[in-house]
């Protein structure tokens, strides 16, 4: 077992590393993180804030990331994945089944599902494929998969596509710089140390860039979820920052427009991140949305 809080779960035929925090008597809330991002990318203060609202907060490393199982030998073709889903080693729907399987492992029949970025895409897929398991849905800085929606700026697209150097110090500097480019501009100064520390911890905990490439292929291979999202019946919240340069805010608006009776929270000073300055508002919105399911 790794020397950190958590445990392994067998889910969908693979091993997922997860942490189970917050109020153990509260309603379960599953956090799903994004591309190449480990469970530690959820700020601890954010997790604790949800726990303080009475939720049992579960977060995990997606397949091919962090301490969860790596899909060794899986092939991917980024150029082909957008045209032929079979070019991807696996699909976002497989990752949604991973998340649902984790709930089964924990004996949880229903949970509030919260996903960020690629995690939002996975969360949407959980609500589509495993509707009975979902009490409420929150999609943060994500999109529906519709063409020409939620597109990145050129600078952001280049930043995330440049390979991460393998050397520790160069890798840490690179990861922190990517977070700077795609993250909040308004809160850049106060978030600088957090970004640098997260880059250090991420590298030390697990440096595995090839997994991120397979995850990216799954994103590119994913179909447009707009029509399926129109059938989602649970309380749904879409959160997006106006300063998001990786997934344009049109992605959040499209998610809101796709799900009937959903709520949209636009945050003027949030980028593709969860800066400390906006966390309390996001937590309150997630709580308010979850309470609609009561």
* Residue 59 confidence (pLDDT): 98
Report whether pLDDT(200) > 90. yes
Report whether pLDDT(117) > 80. yes
* Residue 85 confidence (pLDDT): 78
Report whether pLDDT(87) > 90. no
CB 268 within 8 A of CB 278: no
Report whether pLDDT(81) > 80. no
Report whether pLDDT(64) > 80. yes
* Residue 76 confidence (pLDDT): 64
Give the model confidence (pLDDT) of 150-187 as tens digits.
999 999 999 999 999 999 999 999 999 999 999 999 99
CB 252 within 8 A of CB 73: no
Mean pLDDT of 57-64: 98
Which residues, at least 6 apart from 26, have a Cβ–Cβ distance to it below 8 Å? 51, 54, 55, 56
CB 250 within 8 A of CB 102: no
Residue 170's SS3 state is helix
Of 115, 94, 105, which is closest to residue 32 (Cα–Cα)?
A: 115
Would you say residue 2 lies in a domain? no
Q: In total, how many domains does the chain have? A: 1
Residue 294's SS3 state is coil
Report whether pLDDT(191) > 80. yes
In whole angstroms, what is the distance from residue 282 CA to residue 104 CA? 27
Would you say residue 73 lies in a domain? yes
* Residue 41 confidence (pLDDT): 98
Would you say residue 98 lies in a domain? yes
Domain of residue 110 covers 7-291
* Residue 22 confidence (pLDDT): 97
Specify the DSSP element, H or E, that contains 200.
helix 188-205
Would you say residue 1 lies in a domain? no
Would you say residue 236 lies in a domain? yes
Would you say residue 59 lies in a domain? yes
Report whether pLDDT(136) > 70. yes
Would you say residue 221 lies in a domain? yes
Report whether pLDDT(110) > 70. yes
> What confidence tier does 74 reach under pLDDT thresholds 50, 70, 90?
low
* Residue 101 confidence (pLDDT): 98
Would you say residue 224 lies in a domain? yes
Residue 34: which CATH number?
3.40.50.1820
Query: Across all residues in the chain, what is the average pLDDT?
Result: 96
């Amino acid at each position: 077992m790794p020397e950190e809080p958590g445990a392994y779960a067998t889910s969908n035929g693979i091993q997922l590393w997860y942490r189970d925090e917050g109020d153990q008597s509260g309603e379960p809330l599953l956090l799903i993180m994004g591309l190449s991002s480990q469970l530690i990318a959820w700020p601890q203060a954010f997790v604790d804030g949800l726990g303080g609202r009475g939720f049992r907060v579960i977060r995990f490393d997606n397949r091919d990331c962090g301490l969860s199982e790596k899909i060794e030998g899986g092939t991917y073709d980024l150029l082909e994945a957008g045209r032929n889903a079979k070019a991807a080693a696996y699909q976002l729907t497989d990752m949604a089944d991973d998340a649902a399987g984790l709930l089964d492992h924990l004996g949880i029949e229903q949970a509030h599902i919260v996903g960020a970025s690629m995690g939002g895409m996975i969360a949407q897929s959980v609500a589509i494929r495993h509707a009975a398991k979902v009490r409420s849905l929150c999609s943060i800085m994500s999109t529906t998969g519709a063409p020409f929606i939620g597109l990145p700026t050129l600078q952001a697209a280049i930043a995330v596509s440049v390979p991460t150097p393998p050397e520790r110090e160069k890798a840490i500097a690179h990861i922190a710089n990517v977070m700077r480019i795609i993250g909040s501009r308004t809160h850049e100064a106060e978030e600088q140390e957090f970004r640098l520390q997260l880059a250090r911890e991420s590298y030390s905990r697990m440096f595995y860039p090839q997994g991120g490439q397979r995850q990216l292929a799954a994103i590119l291979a994913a179909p447009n979820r707009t029509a399926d999202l129109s059938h989602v019946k649970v309380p749904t919240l879409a959160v997006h920052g106006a300063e998001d340069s990786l997934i344009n805010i049109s992605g959040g608006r499209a998610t809101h427009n796709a799900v009937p009776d959903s709520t949209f929270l636009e945050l003027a000073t949030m980028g593709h991140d969860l800066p400390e300055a906006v966390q309390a508002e996001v937590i309150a919105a997630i709580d308010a949305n979850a309470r609609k399911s009561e």
